[in-house]
Structure 1
Amino acid sequence: MYLGIDLGTSGVKALIIDGQQRIIASATADLKVSRPAAGWSEQDPAEWISATGAAIGKLRSKHPAEVSEIRGIGLSGQMHGATLLDSTDRVLRPCILWNDTRAHAEAAQLDADPQFRSISGNIVFPGFTAPKLVWVRNNEPDLFAKVASVLLPKDYLRLWLTGEKVSEMSDASGTSWLDVGQRRWSQELLAAGHMDLSQMPRLVEGSDPSGGLRTELALEWGMRPGTIVAGGAGDNAATAIGMGTVGEGAAFVSLGTSGVIFAANDAYRPNAESAVHTFCHAAPQSWHQMGVILSATDSLNWFAVLVGQSSAVLTDELGDELRAPSGVFLPFLSGERTPHNDAAIRGVLSGISHDTDRAAITASILQGVAFAFRDSIEALAAAGTQVTRLTASGGGSRSHYWLRTIATALDKPVDVPVAGDVGAAFGAARLGMLAGGNATLAACTPPNIERSIEPDEALRPAYEDAYQLYRKTYPAIRSTMS
């Protein structure tokens, strides 16, 4: 048995698979995000530990025999978060999360230093870890002086699980401190960001062991002391391991809180100017590229709260017949990454009239997110990565209407896996299996496909016209904010 733990933004998921990679059981525990100021997003790391313990406790209560047979643990988690520890490993402040944009000025300052793009292969985005530490230095200097260690969210869980300060290549790629091509911390980038190598965790590959489960926790959970904990992966790389997206040309679209177009690469080929992320993969000596939008299902969730209905009710109202676009929605509720790298831009809904009803607005929101994915596809192409078809993942992929919208907006087929969990927790469990030496990367096969969704050719011209209007709307709105 192998355990995958995925520390997400809205909750922790724990999942058990057996040696044949069949899902045996899973459990979740919720998390909340604190937004103490506009553009801020934080969580208390103590709540990650409580939620992880609760999820594993649920598994143990219902599946004690399976939990006792766990031989490897893998970790996945939300990326970029800055968890600051003092010399006694005490948390100094709430973790600044991936979708926090307070450090936009600091990010621009670091990005103006050419060595950041040259060494890290990426723009320094406001959500990345390095500018957050510069913000803390500028705004909380007394606290900054106490920082002895910086850990990414899942790596703080690892410290609790194993007592070891370790990270791995995929998650570390999103800090702006990693030499992504050489897969090592860059002393030059650390120094430019007022940090030191001594404050960084040890690095391993995602499929390598990173430590063993502490005896105290093992006895509490009915597991073996010293059970191997794998390096793991950032959430998108872990999803790729779960989806079998590990070879050149393989790609998926993730409809979660944020939205991702993920393409695996066999070589390191950065193109920072395209605002595409070029990161290490969780698989050794491989890389991946991503286009990222910050508010995917979050855009629909915002509207659902506004009108007092669930997201599922809103998408069900659309029926089965795909609608032609009738309005423009820019899903930039908390800024945007690919391709704009714009922390200040905010969402827009335009083209509404007396005839616009709730369903029409819902459809416009789904289309706007799909067009943001189209932006990422075009940015990936500019970076040298061609995507011909995609596999769907994430909670939003349960909406057939939304996937039809994406296929038509991108003019690319979207494959839907058979029912079953092939997401980040499943990928983390696979990495736990690899770290234990009980499988090779060849075992990370793609899921079986239930159906393929083709673009709606009759609506392609209308969608193309709407996309061009969408593209024109961004600079027009941006100019009003300057």
Structure 2
Amino acid sequence: MALVVGLDVGTQGAKALVYEVDSRRVVARGAAKYDLIKSSVPGRAEQHPSTWIEGSATAIGAALAAVDASRVKAIGISGQQHGLVPLDADGRVIRNAKLWCDVESAAEAADLSAQWGITLVPGFTASKLAWLKKNEPGSWARLRHVLLPHDYLNHYMTGRFVMECGDASGTGVFDTAARAWDPERMRCIDPGLEDFFPQLTGPDEAIGEVTGAAAEALGLPPGLLVAPGSGDNQMSALGAGAVAEGAFVASLGTSGTLFGASSAPIVDASGGIAPFCDATGQWLPLLCTMNCTLVSEEVRRAYGLDFAEATALAEREAPGCEGVNFIPYLTGERTPNWPHASGAVTGLRPGSLRPGLMYRAALEAATFSLLTGLKLMEGHGMQAVELRLVGGGSKNPLWRRIIADAFQLPLRFPAEAESAALGAALQAAAVLQGVPVRQYVSDNPPPCEPETVQPNPDSQEAMAAAFQRHTALGETLFGAKS
């Protein structure tokens, strides 16, 4: 029975799953942790691509140690979106990669937004390219290839410079509706930039085979088929089984994301909803926030509580937190586009600073930021009938309840927590079998936990009032709605 590997190369580590195609189950897994390069420069978030190679080798090695590696026939890669990997003419890394959470290019993003008549957030690759040209002319002079993190892993494995539309649609220089590069936007950054972007590939085609050198370095069988891969959100949609309209996914990690499949492109001029393609040939409108699990973790650490203690105390608090709102922009924010925003707590009364109330307020805050995305998507005609939760925060029973009550939607929970790695494996299995990815996932849906959380209508009014305060306070504190 054939095996495939799904590899997710994220901001904090790499995770590998081994998926048995015939039995449709995960049979082994491995992981490796790493961190950002420490920096005192405000807004900077960087990693060297060699970190991803080392982390991938560790994660893959741990996973393959539990199986017969000769049975592995294909691999798919999920990667953190938007990161800029600049390469020279020989494919060598010019400098550290700037990551999705790097907002050092806020000024360049504002300049491009003004030129293009849209809101381009500094997380997108385009602003990082403009920053590189302005601030590091030596690096810019050497630039010949622009890749995203998962593309770099694909290049490392196969030697090819290619990009698929899902991840490409997070660069800021991609025409999502046409599924093609936007040469006019590229020329706004530099007249020769178009030459540095790679060939686009379709969602269902292999991009090559793993070379002997890469196989040896990563502990993979040589000649392995390499699927096109995609960004982590696109792969998470596959891993959560959300390939049909109406099924939305919320991912609760360091960043928070909300997305759902769409049969038509959605262009939101405010920049609040990213106009992404998905990994199946459809579209994946998406909201991303920079402050999700880190907000509640900040409160938990401040009070010296473990997870269970903080949750138990917060479960005693009422929905809406007695009028207290935690404004969650501890690291600035991407959506809304307020990179220089900060956190705040409002509505305090005597006794309000008790740890349970603060912890629940932090969970509500991260939830409301995601709910903003649903409201925007509904304004574009999308309709959610179910919400699937993934990511580390999805295991918190209180947070599950808060999200169900705020969104007033039933919640389901994919059984595999590492949805992006599973999505990469499912894509690899589809490509191996020559089946369209969307059809493969529809025919082989990833399992969900038996539990479904239904919204409590008794909490709807309090949560709606708290959400309205959240929205109004953010606009009052940090500027006009964007």
Q: Would the TM-score normalized by the shorter structure come out above 0.5?
A: yes
Q: 1:161 aligns with which of 150, 157, 163?
A: 157
Q: TM-score, normalised by structure 1?
A: 0.92
Q: CA deviation at 1:479?
A: 5.3
Is 218-227 or 267-276 further displaced after alignment? 218-227
Q: Which amino acid aligns with 2:364?
A: Q
Counterpart mapping for 1:334-413 below 5 A: 334-338=331-335, 340-355=336-351, 356-413=353-410
- Structure 1 residues 233-272: aligned runs within 5 Å: 233-272=230-269
The structure-2 alpha-carbon separation of the partners of 1:224 and 1:34, relative to structure 1 and needing over 3 Å to count, comes to: closer
| Counterpart contact for 1:295–1:334, Cα < 8 Å | yes
Q: For residue 458 of structure 1, what is the amino acid of its counterpart?
A: D
Which residue of structure 2 aligns with residue 22 of structure 1?
25
Q: Distance in 2 between matches of 1:308 and 1:265?
A: 43
- Please tell me whether the aligned partners of residues 89 and 142 of structure 2 are also in contact (alpha carbons under 8 angstroms): yes
8 Å CA contact 2:320–2:466 kept in 1: the answer is: no
Which deviates the most, 449-458 or 390-399? Answer: 449-458
Matched, 1:425 2:421: yes
Report what 1:69 is aligned to. Answer: 71
Which residue in the other structure is 1:275 paired with?
A: 272
Distance in 2 (alpha carbons) for counterparts of 1:311 and 1:134? 42
- Give the residue type in structure 1 aligned to 2:29: S
**Alignment map for 1:140-155 (pairs within 5 Å):** 140-155=136-151
Among 31, 42, 48, which residue is 1:44 paired with?
Answer: 48
Q: How does 1:13-162 map to 2 (within 5 A)?
A: 13-19=15-21, 20-36=23-39, 37-63=41-67, 65=68, 67-114=69-116, 117=118, 123-162=119-158
Helix, strand or coil for the counterpart of 2:413?
strand
Deviates more, 1:221-230 or 1:397-406: 221-230
* Matching residue's letter, 2:388: T
Map 1:203-214; keep pairs closer than 5 Å.
Answer: 203-214=200-211
Matched with 2:450 is 450
1:176 aligns with 2:172: yes
Select 1:9's aligned residue among 6, 11, 14. Answer: 11
- With normalisation by structure 2, the TM-score equals 0.92
Contact 2:57 2:219 in 1 (8 A): no
Deviations 1:381-428 (A, max 9, x none): 1222122321111110001100111111122222223x3346000000
Instruction: Report how far residue 323 of structure 1 moved.
Output: 4.3
Q: Kindly indicate whether the alpha-carbon contact (under 8 Å) linking 2:157 and 2:215 is maintained by their aligned counterparts in 1.
A: no
Deviations 1:204-256 (A, max 9, x none): 12332111101123356664422111111100110111111112222111111
1:189 aligns with 2:185: yes
- 1:57 deviates by 1.5
Gaps of 5+ in 2: none
Give 1:31's aligned amino acid: Y
1:104·1:126 contact (CA, 8 Å) conserved in 2?
Answer: yes
User: CA 1:21–1:360 in 2, change beyond 3 Å: closer, same or farther?
Assistant: same
Amino acid at match of 1:135: W
After superposition, what is the alpha-carbon deviation per residue over 1:62-108, rounded to whole angstroms, capped at 9, x for unaligned? Answer: 33x1x221111001011000111122222122111101111111111
Measured against aligned partners, the alpha-carbon deviations of 1:292-329 in whole angstroms (never above 9, x if no partner) come to 21111122233334344444542244347764423111
Q: For 2:202, give the aligned amino acid.
A: E
Q: Does 1:477 align with 2:474?
A: no
1:274 touches 1:380 (CA, 8 Å); kept in 2? no
Task: Give the superposition deviation at 1:433.
Answer: 1.1
CA apart distance, 1:14? 0.6
In the alignment, the residues of structure 1 paired with residue 18 and residue 57 of structure 2 have an alpha-carbon distance, to the nearest angstrom, of 15
Matched residue type, 1:93: R
2:327 corresponds to = 330
Q: Which amino acid aligns with 2:472?
A: K
Residues 366 and 110 of structure 1, relative CA distance in 2, 3 Å threshold:
same
- Identity across matched positions, percent: 32
Shift of 1:58: 1.3
AA partner of residue 390 (structure 2): S
- Partner SS, residue 261 of structure 2: strand
- Asked if structure 1 preserves the Cα contact closer than 8 Å seen for 2:28 and 2:64, the reply is no
Cα drift, residue 162 of structure 1: 1.4
The question of whether the paired residues in 1 share the 8 Å contact of 2:388 and 2:413 is answered with yes
Instruction: Identify which range, 36-45 or 235-244, moves more after superposition.
Output: 36-45
Identify if the C-alpha distance between structure 1 residues 214 and 317 changes in structure 2 by more than 3 Å, giving closer, same or farther: farther
Alignment check: 8 A CA contact 2:47 2:99 kept: yes
Shift of 1:132: 0.6
Shift of 1:447: 2.9
* Contact 1:78/1:98, CA 8 A, preserved across alignment: yes
Work out the CA distance in 2 between the residues paired with 1:47 and 1:57: 15
Q: Secondary structure at the match of 2:451?
A: strand
- What is the identity, as a one-letter code, of the residue corresponding to 1:18? E
Contact 2:246 2:386 in 1 (8 A): no
Q: Which amino acid aligns with 2:278?
A: H
Give the match for residue 120 of structure 1. none
1:291 to 276, 284, 287: 287
Greater displacement, 324-333 / 235-244: 324-333
Alignment size in residue pairs: 469
* 1:289-328 mapped onto 2 (5 Å cutoff): 289-311=285-307, 313-319=309-315, 323-326=319-322, 327-328=324-325
SS in 1 for 2:169: helix
Say if 1:349 and 1:34 are closer, same or farther in 2 by CA, change over 3 A. farther
Distance 1:313 1:95, change over 3 A: farther
Q: Say which of 214, 218, 221 aligns to 1:217.
A: 214
Question: In the aligned structure 1, how far is the partner of 2:307 from the partner of 2:31?
Answer: 20
Q: Name the amino acid aligned to 1:414.
A: L
Give, in whole Å, the separation in 1 of the partners of 2:277 and 2:74: 23
Aligned residue identity for 1:47: T
Please say if residues 317 and 356 of structure 2, whose CA atoms lie closer than 8 Å, have aligned partners that are also in contact.
no
